[in-house]
Amino acid sequence: MAEDKSNAEAYWKANLRLITGCLIVWALVSYGFAILLRPLLSGIPVGGTDLGFWFAQQGSILTFIALIFFYAWKMNRLDKQFGLGE
Amino acid sequence: MSQFAINVLFVGASFAIYIGIAIWAKAGSTKDFYVAGGGVHPVTNGMAIGADWMSAASFISMAGLIAAGGYANSTFLMGWTGGYVLLAMLLAPYLRKFGKFTVPEFIGDRFYSKTARMVAVVCLIVASVTYVIGQMAGAGVAFSRFLEVDATTGLIIAAVVVFFYSVLGGMKGITYTQVAQYIVLIIAYTIPAVFISLELTGNPLPPLGLFSDHSASGEPLLAKLNEVVTALGFNAYTAMVDNKLNMVLFTLSLMIGTAGLPHVIMRFFTVPKVADARWSAGWALVFIGLLYLTAPAVASMARLNLMTTIYPDMAGQVENYEEAAGNPIAYEERPEWIRTWEETGLITFEDKNNDGNIQFYNDTANFTERGWEGNELVVNNDILVLANPEIANLPGWVIGLIAAGGLAAALSTAAGLLLAISSAISHDLIKGAINPKISEKSELLTARISMSVAIVVATYLGANPPGFAAQVVALAFGIAAASLFPVLMMGIFSKRVNNKGAIAGMLSGLVFTLVYIFVYKGWFFIPGTNNLADTPDNWVLGISPLSIGAVGAIINFAVAYLVSNATEQPPQEIQDLVESVRYPKGAGGAIDH
C-alpha cells in the first residue's frame, strides 16, 4: 500500500512536470512569439511579413496540435511505466 | 438548373443524411442519451468535437473578423484553438475518469455541495442559451439567403431537423450527425478557399498561399495587401497592436473560456478510455485546425479581392498607389455579386459625392483632395465567406455547398448546446435536486421533454433575439472562463479546495466579470444603462469588457484558495475521489449513480 502510494505520487509528479513543460511552450508561442515578443522578432521575415505574424495566424495552432499529441503519447507511456493505465 | 434548385438539392440532401442517421442512432437508455453509450472512437469523437465547436461564428463570421482586423484579430485564431491544449492536459482525461454524465455533476460531487452544483447549472444555462441563440439566428440567415424563404420560416425548418435527431438520438444521434456535419462543413469551407488561393497565388494550399507571392503583382501577398489597404487610409493588415495587455487577456479569456464550456467538455465523456480522451482532444484540434488554418488565408485573400474589385487599377503591379487608389469603379459597373448582396441589405451603397463611382475607404482618413466626401460602400463582415464563391466566380454547386456548410456549422453547434442545457435540467436539476428517485425510463423521457422545450425556447429567441444575444463572446466565454474553468481545474489539481472555497470562488469570479461587462455594455445589456462609454479610454488599464473573463478567473482561483485555507479540509472521501480521478487505472464507462 505504501509502495502503491509513493508510486502514484511519482506518477502524478511526472504528469505535473510534463504539463508544466507543455504549457510553457503553449504560452511561449502564443503570448510570447505572437504577441509580446513580436517586436523583437520583427527582423525575421516570413512571406511578406514577420515571424510574429506567422505565429499569430498559423504557427501557434500547429504547435498546439503537436503539443497535445506529444502529451497524449508521453502520458500513455507514463501510464504503462507506473502500471496505472487502464 | 437554377441556383435556387442547386441550393435546395445540397441542403435537402444534407438534411436527409442527418435524419437517416437519427433513425439509425436512436437512444435506448440514459447512457445513450447523455454520453452516446460511452463507446465512441477517439477519431470519431474528435470530428464530432470539431463540428460541435465550430459554430456559425467560426464558419461565417471569423474570416470576416480577421479580414477586417488583420493581425489584431489573430486573437480569435489562437484563443479558439489554444483552449484545447488546456482541455487535453488539465480537464478532459480526469473528468472522463470521474465517469459521470454532466459538468455540474462533477462540481456537485467534488465539492460535496448541491449549492455548488446549482451555481454550475445556472452558469451552464446562461452561457449555453446565449450561445445557442446565435446559432439559430445564423441558421435562419443562411436559409433566407440561399433558399429564398424568410428567416423565421428558415429557423423553424432548421429547428424541426434538430428536434428530430437530438430528441430521438440524444448524444448518440448528435455524435454521428456531427461527424456528417463536420465533413459537409469542412468541404464547403476549403473548396472555395483552394480555388481562390490558386487564382491569387498559384498555390493550391490556402495556408501556404497566405505566405506566397501574389501572382498578378509578383509581390508577397501580405505585402501587397498592406500597400493596397494603407493607400485607402486603413491600418496596415499586419500592423502591430499597441495595447498588448488587452490582446493577451482577450486571447487568454477565449482559451480558458473554450476549455470551460460544458457542451465541449461533455463530448469527452463519450469515449471508452482516459487515454482516448487525450487522443480525442488532439484529433479535435486537427479537425478544427483544418478550418482555422484556412480561415486567415480566406480572410486576407477575400479582403484583397474585395479591394481590387472596387479599385481594378490596384490589382496588378502598381507604379503609383496614390493614383491607382483614386480610381474606383462606377456604381453601374459593379459586379453581379454586389447586386445580389445589396438585396439582403448586407452591402449598402450611398453616393455621397454624386460622382457615380464607389469610393470605398477608411472613413476617418481625409481624402477631400481626391474629391471624396466619405466612405460610400458598407460591407458586412459576415458575407465574406458566404460571398466568396461568387466573388471568385466559382460554379453554382460551390454556392450550394456553402449553404449546406453554413447550416451544418450552425446546427451541429446548436445540437451540442441544446444537449448540454437539457441534460443539466433533467440530470442535475430534476434527478439531482428535485426527484432523486426518478427511474431511468422516466429520466430518459424527462431528458427528451427538456430537449424539446429547450429547442422551442431557442427557436423563439433565435427569431426574436434579446439584446444579450449579440454578446456571446462577453457572456458565454466570460462566464465559462471566470466561473466554470477555475473550479473544474482546482477540483482536480487541489485536494485542499473545499465546498466553501469553490462556491465563494465561482460567485466572486462570476459577479466581478458580469459587473465589469455591465458597467460598459449596460446592466443586463439594456441599452442606455451603462455607467461608462465602452471605449478604450474608459477601460481600466485598457482592459476591454470582452477580455475581463481572464481576470475573473484569477479572482476565482485566489478567493477559492484563500477561503479554503481559512476553513476546514475536505472530508477524506473527497480527497480519495480527487486521488482516483488522477489515475486512469480502474476507469469504467460513464456510469449512472
- The 10s digit of each residue's pLDDT in A18-35 is 999 999 999 999 999 999
Higher per-residue pLDDT: B106 or B366: B106
Q: Region B138-154: what's the mean pLDDT?
A: 80
Q: Region B62-78: what's the mean pLDDT?
A: 95
pLDDT in tens, B475-498: 899 999 999 999 999 999 999 999
The pLDDT score that the predictor gives to residue B134 is 84
Question: Residue B551 in contact with residue B514, Cβ under 8 Å?
Answer: no
Whole-prediction pTM? 0.95
Which residue is associated with the grid cell 499569430? A56
From the CA of A44, how many Å to the nearest CA of chain B? 14
Distance separating alpha carbons of residues B299 and B225, to the nearest angstrom: 11
3-state secondary structure of B357: strand
The pLDDT score that the predictor gives to residue B593 is 47
- Domains of chain B, by residue range, sit at 3-304+393-582, 313-389
Distance separating alpha carbons of residues B106 and B102, to the nearest angstrom: 7
% of chain B surpassing 70 pLDDT: 99
Domain membership of residue A12 (yes or no) is no
Higher per-residue pLDDT: A5 or B176: B176
Q: Which three cell numbers stand for residue B266?
A: 461533455
Q: Which three cell numbers stand for residue B169?
A: 438520438
Question: Residue A82 in contact with residue A11, Cβ under 8 Å?
Answer: yes
pLDDT surpassing 70 at residue B346: yes
pLDDT surpassing 80 at residue B502: yes
Using a CB-CB distance cutoff of 8 angstroms, which residues of chain A are in contact with residue B81? 60-61, 64
Q: Region B173-180: what's the mean pLDDT?
A: 94
Question: Which of the four pLDDT bands, split at 50, 70 and 90, describes residue A72?
Answer: very high
Domain membership of residue A7 (yes or no) is no
Domain membership of residue A61 (yes or no) is yes
Domain of A28?
Answer: 20-81
The pLDDT score that the predictor gives to residue B282 is 98
From the CA of B378, how many Å to the nearest CA of chain A? 26
Angle at B543 between CA B540 and CA B548, to 5 degrees: 110
The pLDDT score that the predictor gives to residue B140 is 79
Q: Which three cell numbers stand for residue B331?
A: 456604381
Looking at the structure of chain A, the number of domains it has is 1
Instruction: Please choose, from the candidates B440, B392, B443, the residue with its C-alpha nearest in 3D space to the C-alpha of residue B422.
Output: B443
Which of B54, B89, B245 should one mutate to test binding to chain A, selecting the residue with the greatest count of A CBs within 10 A?
B89
A 46-85 → B contacts, CB under 8 A: 46-50, 53-54, 56-58, 60-62, 64-65, 67-69, 71-72, 75-76, 79, 83-85
Which residue is associated with the grid cell 488554418? B293
Q: How far is CA B318 from CA B28, B220, B409, in A?
A: 66, 14, 40
The pLDDT score that the predictor gives to residue B591 is 56
pLDDT in tens, B547-556: 999 999 999 9
Which of A9, A17, A25, A65 should one mutate to test binding to chain B, selecting the residue with the greatest count of B CBs within 10 A?
A65
Distance separating alpha carbons of residues B192 and A64, to the nearest angstrom: 26
Q: Region A65-84: what's the mean pLDDT?
A: 96
pLDDT surpassing 70 at residue B590: no
Q: In residues, how long is chain A?
A: 86
Per-residue H/E/C for B92-131: HHHHHHHCCCCHHHHHHHHCCCHHHHHHHHHHHHHHHHHH
pLDDT surpassing 70 at residue B306: yes
From the CA of A85, how many Å to the nearest CA of chain B? 5
Which of B75, B85, B97, B294 should one mutate to test binding to chain A, selecting the residue with the greatest count of A CBs within 10 A?
B85
Q: Mean pLDDT across chain B, nearest whole number? A: 92
The pLDDT score that the predictor gives to residue B22 is 86
Question: Hey, are the CB atoms on A64 and B90 less than 8 Å from each other?
Answer: no
> Quick check: ipTM above 0.85?
yes
DSSP B504-519: HHHHHHHHHHHHHHHH
Question: Which of the four pLDDT bands, split at 50, 70 and 90, describes residue B589?
Answer: low
B 452-471 → A contacts, CB under 8 A: none
Question: Residue B36 in contact with residue B270, Cβ under 8 Å?
Answer: yes
Select B3-304+393-582's CATH number: 2.70.70.10, 3.40.50.10320, 3.40.50.150, 1.20.1730.10: 1.20.1730.10
